[in-house]
Structure 1
Protein backbone atom coordinates (compact mmCIF):
# COMPACT_ATOMS: atom_id res chain seq x y z
CA UNK A 1 0.00 0.00 0.00
CA UNK A 2 2.85 2.38 0.85
CA UNK A 3 4.69 1.35 -2.34
CA UNK A 4 1.86 2.49 -4.62
CA UNK A 5 1.53 5.75 -2.70
CA UNK A 6 5.28 6.34 -2.98
CA UNK A 7 5.17 5.78 -6.74
CA UNK A 8 2.20 8.13 -7.13
CA UNK A 9 3.98 10.71 -4.95
CA UNK A 10 7.09 10.54 -7.13
CA UNK A 11 5.07 10.77 -10.34
CA UNK A 12 3.00 13.73 -9.17
CA UNK A 13 6.11 15.45 -7.81
CA UNK A 14 7.87 15.03 -11.16
CA UNK A 15 4.84 16.29 -13.10
CA UNK A 16 4.55 19.34 -10.83
CA UNK A 17 8.29 20.09 -11.07
CA UNK A 18 8.27 19.79 -14.87
CA UNK A 19 5.13 21.90 -15.26
CA UNK A 20 6.54 24.50 -12.87
CA UNK A 21 9.83 24.66 -14.80
CA UNK A 22 7.95 25.18 -18.08
CA UNK A 23 5.75 27.77 -16.36
CA UNK A 24 8.80 29.72 -15.18
CA UNK A 25 10.33 29.55 -18.67
CA UNK A 26 7.07 30.84 -20.18
CA UNK A 27 6.91 33.76 -17.78
CA UNK A 28 10.57 34.66 -18.32
CA UNK A 29 10.10 34.54 -22.10
CA UNK A 30 6.94 36.63 -21.77
CA UNK A 31 8.87 39.33 -19.88
CA UNK A 32 11.76 39.22 -22.37
CA UNK A 33 9.49 39.32 -25.41
CA UNK A 34 7.36 42.14 -24.02
CA UNK A 35 9.95 44.48 -22.52
CA UNK A 36 13.13 43.71 -24.49
CA UNK A 37 11.86 42.63 -27.92
CA UNK A 38 8.75 44.82 -27.82
CA UNK A 39 6.44 42.07 -29.16
CA UNK A 40 4.69 40.12 -26.41
CA UNK A 41 4.19 36.43 -27.00
CA UNK A 42 0.52 35.43 -26.79
CA UNK A 43 1.39 31.74 -26.81
CA UNK A 44 3.52 31.84 -23.65
CA UNK A 45 0.95 34.05 -21.90
CA UNK A 46 -1.79 31.50 -22.47
CA UNK A 47 0.46 28.53 -21.74
CA UNK A 48 1.55 30.09 -18.43
CA UNK A 49 -2.10 30.54 -17.37
CA UNK A 50 -2.95 26.92 -18.17
CA UNK A 51 0.18 25.56 -16.49
CA UNK A 52 -0.52 27.67 -13.41
CA UNK A 53 -3.96 26.06 -13.16
CA UNK A 54 -2.51 22.55 -13.54
CA UNK A 55 0.31 23.18 -11.04
CA UNK A 56 -2.11 24.63 -8.51
CA UNK A 57 -4.63 21.81 -8.73
CA UNK A 58 -2.17 18.93 -8.90
CA UNK A 59 -0.08 20.62 -6.21
CA UNK A 60 -3.12 20.74 -3.94
CA UNK A 61 -3.66 17.00 -4.36
CA UNK A 62 0.04 16.28 -3.83
CA UNK A 63 0.11 18.45 -0.72
CA UNK A 64 -2.90 16.61 0.69
CA UNK A 65 -1.13 13.31 0.06
CA UNK A 66 1.93 14.57 1.93
CA UNK A 67 -0.27 15.74 4.82
CA UNK A 68 1.21 19.23 4.43
CA UNK A 69 -1.98 21.05 3.47
CA UNK A 70 -3.23 24.06 5.37
CA UNK A 71 -5.51 22.96 8.19
CA UNK A 72 -7.19 24.43 11.21
CA UNK A 73 -6.17 21.94 13.87
CA UNK A 74 -7.64 23.42 17.06
CA UNK A 75 -10.19 20.64 17.55
CA UNK A 76 -7.89 17.72 16.59
CA UNK A 77 -5.31 18.95 19.11
CA UNK A 78 -7.94 18.97 21.87
CA UNK A 79 -8.84 15.28 21.48
CA UNK A 80 -6.87 12.05 21.41
CA UNK A 81 -7.22 8.31 20.91
CA UNK A 82 -10.37 7.01 19.28
CA UNK A 83 -11.96 10.45 19.15
CA UNK A 84 -8.99 11.83 17.22
CA UNK A 85 -9.11 8.91 14.75
CA UNK A 86 -12.86 9.36 14.26
CA UNK A 87 -12.42 13.11 13.70
CA UNK A 88 -9.62 12.44 11.23
CA UNK A 89 -11.76 9.85 9.41
CA UNK A 90 -14.74 12.22 9.27
CA UNK A 91 -12.54 14.98 7.84
CA UNK A 92 -11.13 12.61 5.23
CA UNK A 93 -14.63 11.44 4.26
CA UNK A 94 -15.74 15.07 3.76
CA UNK A 95 -12.66 15.85 1.66
CA UNK A 96 -13.16 12.64 -0.35
CA UNK A 97 -16.81 13.52 -0.89
CA UNK A 98 -15.86 16.94 -2.24
CA UNK A 99 -13.14 15.41 -4.43
CA UNK A 100 -15.51 12.77 -5.79
CA UNK A 101 -18.64 14.85 -6.33
CA UNK A 102 -17.36 18.30 -7.20
CA UNK A 103 -14.00 17.60 -8.77
CA UNK A 104 -14.26 14.15 -10.35
CA UNK A 105 -17.95 14.11 -11.30
CA UNK A 106 -18.51 17.85 -11.81
CA UNK A 107 -15.12 18.40 -13.37
CA UNK A 108 -15.61 15.36 -15.58
CA UNK A 109 -18.95 16.74 -16.77
CA UNK A 110 -17.27 20.08 -17.51
CA UNK A 111 -14.55 18.33 -19.52
CA UNK A 112 -17.09 16.29 -21.52
CA UNK A 113 -19.35 19.26 -22.24
CA UNK A 114 -16.42 21.44 -23.26
CA UNK A 115 -15.02 18.75 -25.55
CA UNK A 116 -18.49 18.24 -27.06
CA UNK A 117 -18.78 21.95 -27.92
CA UNK A 118 -15.37 21.94 -29.58
CA UNK A 119 -14.16 24.99 -27.66
CA UNK A 120 -10.45 25.66 -28.22
CA UNK A 121 -8.03 28.09 -26.61
CA UNK A 122 -7.41 31.27 -28.64
CA UNK A 123 -3.61 31.16 -29.01
CA UNK A 124 -2.61 27.52 -28.62
CA UNK A 125 -5.73 26.11 -30.30
CA UNK A 126 -5.88 23.33 -27.68
CA UNK A 127 -9.27 21.81 -26.83
CA UNK A 128 -10.34 23.50 -23.59
CA UNK A 129 -11.59 20.17 -22.28
CA UNK A 130 -7.98 19.03 -22.01
CA UNK A 131 -7.14 22.16 -20.02
CA UNK A 132 -10.09 21.58 -17.69
CA UNK A 133 -8.95 17.97 -17.30
CA UNK A 134 -6.83 19.17 -14.38
CA UNK A 135 -9.99 19.32 -12.26
CA UNK A 136 -11.12 15.66 -12.44
CA UNK A 137 -7.50 14.44 -12.45
CA UNK A 138 -6.71 16.34 -9.26
CA UNK A 139 -10.01 15.22 -7.77
CA UNK A 140 -9.11 11.60 -8.48
CA UNK A 141 -5.73 12.08 -6.80
CA UNK A 142 -7.41 13.72 -3.78
CA UNK A 143 -9.86 10.83 -3.62
CA UNK A 144 -7.00 8.30 -3.79
CA UNK A 145 -5.07 9.99 -0.99
CA UNK A 146 -8.19 10.22 1.21
CA UNK A 147 -9.02 6.53 0.67
CA UNK A 148 -5.40 5.61 1.41
CA UNK A 149 -5.46 7.51 4.70
CA UNK A 150 -8.89 6.13 5.64
CA UNK A 151 -7.55 2.60 5.05
CA UNK A 152 -4.59 3.37 7.32
CA UNK A 153 -6.93 4.65 10.02
CA UNK A 154 -9.11 1.54 9.69
CA UNK A 155 -5.99 -0.62 10.27
CA UNK A 156 -5.13 1.42 13.35
CA UNK A 157 -2.18 3.18 11.72
CA UNK A 158 -1.49 6.89 11.88
CA UNK A 159 -1.68 8.49 8.40
CA UNK A 160 0.60 11.26 9.65
CA UNK A 161 3.36 8.82 10.56
CA UNK A 162 6.36 8.44 8.27
CA UNK A 163 6.19 4.93 6.73
CA UNK A 164 9.99 4.87 6.38
CA UNK A 165 10.64 5.75 10.03
CA UNK A 166 11.94 2.91 12.22
CA UNK A 167 9.30 1.17 14.32
CA UNK A 168 9.32 1.88 18.05
CA UNK A 169 11.05 -0.67 20.26
CA UNK A 170 8.79 -3.68 20.90
CA UNK A 171 6.50 -2.89 17.97
CA UNK A 172 5.38 -5.72 15.72
CA UNK A 173 7.23 -5.87 12.40
CA UNK A 174 5.34 -7.33 9.41
Structure 2
Protein backbone atom coordinates (compact mmCIF):
# COMPACT_ATOMS: atom_id res chain seq x y z
CA UNK A 1 0.00 0.00 0.00
CA UNK A 2 2.78 2.43 0.92
CA UNK A 3 4.50 1.93 -2.44
CA UNK A 4 1.23 2.81 -4.21
CA UNK A 5 0.93 6.03 -2.21
CA UNK A 6 4.60 6.80 -2.87
CA UNK A 7 4.22 6.24 -6.61
CA UNK A 8 1.03 8.28 -6.80
CA UNK A 9 2.58 11.19 -4.93
CA UNK A 10 5.74 11.00 -7.01
CA UNK A 11 3.74 11.15 -10.26
CA UNK A 12 1.61 14.02 -8.94
CA UNK A 13 4.72 15.95 -7.91
CA UNK A 14 6.37 15.45 -11.31
CA UNK A 15 3.19 16.57 -13.07
CA UNK A 16 2.75 19.65 -10.86
CA UNK A 17 6.43 20.57 -11.24
CA UNK A 18 6.27 20.18 -15.03
CA UNK A 19 3.20 22.41 -15.28
CA UNK A 20 4.88 24.90 -12.93
CA UNK A 21 7.97 25.06 -15.15
CA UNK A 22 5.84 25.63 -18.25
CA UNK A 23 3.92 28.42 -16.45
CA UNK A 24 7.08 30.17 -15.30
CA UNK A 25 8.75 29.89 -18.71
CA UNK A 26 5.63 31.30 -20.38
CA UNK A 27 5.54 34.07 -17.79
CA UNK A 28 9.13 35.05 -18.64
CA UNK A 29 8.47 34.86 -22.39
CA UNK A 30 5.24 36.87 -22.18
CA UNK A 31 6.77 39.50 -19.92
CA UNK A 32 10.17 40.07 -21.53
CA UNK A 33 9.63 39.07 -25.16
CA UNK A 34 5.98 39.86 -25.80
CA UNK A 35 5.82 42.77 -23.36
CA UNK A 36 2.49 41.71 -21.83
CA UNK A 37 2.83 39.52 -18.73
CA UNK A 38 0.29 36.75 -18.36
CA UNK A 39 -1.67 37.14 -15.13
CA UNK A 40 -3.16 33.67 -15.52
CA UNK A 41 0.15 31.81 -15.51
CA UNK A 42 1.46 34.01 -12.71
CA UNK A 43 -1.45 33.07 -10.48
CA UNK A 44 -1.41 29.42 -11.52
CA UNK A 45 2.33 29.19 -10.77
CA UNK A 46 1.78 30.55 -7.25
CA UNK A 47 -0.96 28.05 -6.49
CA UNK A 48 0.92 25.11 -8.02
CA UNK A 49 3.98 26.02 -5.97
CA UNK A 50 1.86 25.88 -2.84
CA UNK A 51 0.57 22.41 -3.73
CA UNK A 52 4.07 21.29 -4.73
CA UNK A 53 5.57 22.40 -1.41
CA UNK A 54 2.89 20.79 0.75
CA UNK A 55 2.64 17.51 -1.16
CA UNK A 56 6.43 17.45 -1.45
CA UNK A 57 6.69 17.80 2.32
CA UNK A 58 4.34 14.87 2.81
CA UNK A 59 6.26 12.78 0.29
CA UNK A 60 9.55 13.68 1.97
CA UNK A 61 8.18 12.51 5.32
CA UNK A 62 7.16 9.24 3.69
CA UNK A 63 10.65 8.75 2.33
CA UNK A 64 12.30 9.52 5.68
CA UNK A 65 14.23 12.41 4.15
CA UNK A 66 12.71 15.18 6.20
CA UNK A 67 14.72 17.37 8.53
CA UNK A 68 15.06 15.71 11.92
CA UNK A 69 17.06 16.29 15.07
CA UNK A 70 17.72 12.74 16.17
CA UNK A 71 20.48 13.17 18.76
CA UNK A 72 18.39 11.58 21.49
CA UNK A 73 17.00 8.77 19.38
CA UNK A 74 20.45 7.77 18.11
CA UNK A 75 21.68 7.42 21.70
CA UNK A 76 18.85 5.09 22.65
CA UNK A 77 18.40 1.41 21.94
CA UNK A 78 15.83 -1.31 22.44
CA UNK A 79 12.48 -0.43 23.94
CA UNK A 80 13.52 3.13 24.76
CA UNK A 81 14.36 3.82 21.13
CA UNK A 82 11.09 2.23 20.02
CA UNK A 83 9.11 4.30 22.52
CA UNK A 84 10.95 7.47 21.50
CA UNK A 85 10.19 6.87 17.82
CA UNK A 86 6.55 6.10 18.57
CA UNK A 87 6.22 9.30 20.59
CA UNK A 88 7.79 11.31 17.77
CA UNK A 89 5.42 9.77 15.23
CA UNK A 90 2.52 10.46 17.58
CA UNK A 91 3.46 14.12 17.99
CA UNK A 92 3.91 14.59 14.24
CA UNK A 93 0.60 12.82 13.56
CA UNK A 94 -1.20 14.87 16.21
CA UNK A 95 0.19 18.11 14.79
CA UNK A 96 -0.93 17.11 11.30
CA UNK A 97 -4.38 16.14 12.57
CA UNK A 98 -4.99 19.32 14.55
CA UNK A 99 -3.24 21.98 12.50
CA UNK A 100 -3.29 20.68 8.96
CA UNK A 101 -6.40 18.51 8.72
CA UNK A 102 -8.70 20.22 11.22
CA UNK A 103 -7.37 23.78 10.89
CA UNK A 104 -6.80 23.48 7.16
CA UNK A 105 -10.20 21.89 6.73
CA UNK A 106 -11.81 24.80 8.60
CA UNK A 107 -9.94 27.24 6.35
CA UNK A 108 -11.13 25.41 3.23
CA UNK A 109 -14.73 25.29 4.48
CA UNK A 110 -14.83 28.97 5.45
CA UNK A 111 -13.24 30.05 2.19
CA UNK A 112 -15.62 27.96 0.12
CA UNK A 113 -18.58 29.27 2.14
CA UNK A 114 -17.48 32.87 1.59
CA UNK A 115 -17.44 32.36 -2.17
CA UNK A 116 -13.95 33.83 -2.52
CA UNK A 117 -12.45 33.16 -5.95
CA UNK A 118 -9.02 33.78 -7.38
CA UNK A 119 -8.69 37.06 -9.29
CA UNK A 120 -7.49 35.72 -12.63
CA UNK A 121 -8.49 32.06 -12.83
CA UNK A 122 -11.84 32.54 -11.04
CA UNK A 123 -11.55 29.24 -9.17
CA UNK A 124 -12.68 28.97 -5.54
CA UNK A 125 -9.83 29.73 -3.12
CA UNK A 126 -10.92 26.76 -1.03
CA UNK A 127 -9.52 24.48 -3.75
CA UNK A 128 -6.18 26.22 -3.46
CA UNK A 129 -6.16 25.85 0.33
CA UNK A 130 -7.20 22.20 -0.05
CA UNK A 131 -3.51 21.36 -0.27
CA UNK A 132 -3.19 21.84 3.49
CA UNK A 133 -5.63 19.16 4.72
CA UNK A 134 -4.65 16.86 1.84
CA UNK A 135 -0.96 16.97 2.80
CA UNK A 136 -1.93 16.55 6.45
CA UNK A 137 -3.90 13.39 5.68
CA UNK A 138 -0.99 11.95 3.71
CA UNK A 139 1.40 12.73 6.59
CA UNK A 140 -0.95 11.06 9.07
CA UNK A 141 -1.09 8.01 6.80
CA UNK A 142 2.71 7.81 6.79
CA UNK A 143 2.90 8.26 10.57
CA UNK A 144 0.38 5.45 11.11
CA UNK A 145 2.14 3.23 8.61
CA UNK A 146 5.53 3.75 10.28
CA UNK A 147 4.01 3.23 13.74
CA UNK A 148 2.50 -0.07 12.60
CA UNK A 149 5.88 -1.11 11.21
CA UNK A 150 7.50 -0.29 14.55
CA UNK A 151 4.77 -2.11 16.46
CA UNK A 152 5.14 -5.23 14.34
CA UNK A 153 8.85 -5.31 15.11
CA UNK A 154 9.99 -4.78 11.55
CA UNK A 155 13.77 -4.83 11.84
CA UNK A 156 15.80 -1.81 10.83
CA UNK A 157 19.46 -1.19 10.44
CA UNK A 158 21.07 0.30 13.55
CA UNK A 159 21.93 3.55 11.79
CA UNK A 160 18.66 3.81 9.85
CA UNK A 161 15.73 5.75 11.30
CA UNK A 162 12.67 3.65 11.99
CA UNK A 163 10.46 5.60 9.65
CA UNK A 164 11.32 5.70 5.99
CA UNK A 165 14.14 4.34 3.84
CA UNK A 166 17.29 6.36 3.36
CA UNK A 167 18.32 4.93 0.00
Q: What TM-score results when the alignment is normalised by the length of structure 2? A: 0.92
1:56-95 paired onto structure 2 within 5 Å: 56-95=53-92
Gapped runs of 5+ residues in structure 2? 157-161
Shift of the alpha carbon at 1:161?
6.7
Aligned residue in 1 for 2:39: 42
**Structure 1 outlier segments of 4+, above 3 Å:** 158-162
Gapped runs of 5+ residues in structure 1? 163-174
Note if 1:123 corresponds to 2:120: yes
In the aligned structure 2, how far is the partner of 1:75 from the partner of 1:21? 39
Aligned residue in 2 for 1:138: 135
Cα deviation code 1:2-29 (max 9, x no counterpart): xx11101000110011000000111111
Alpha-carbon RMSD? 1.3
Aligned residue in 1 for 2:159: none
Q: What TM-score results when the alignment is normalised by the length of structure 1? A: 0.89
Shift of the alpha carbon at 1:36?
0.8
In the aligned structure 1, how far is the partner of 2:142 from the partner of 2:121? 33
Count of paired positions: 160
In the aligned structure 1, how far is the partner of 2:164 from the partner of 2:54? 25
Aligned residue in 1 for 2:98: 101
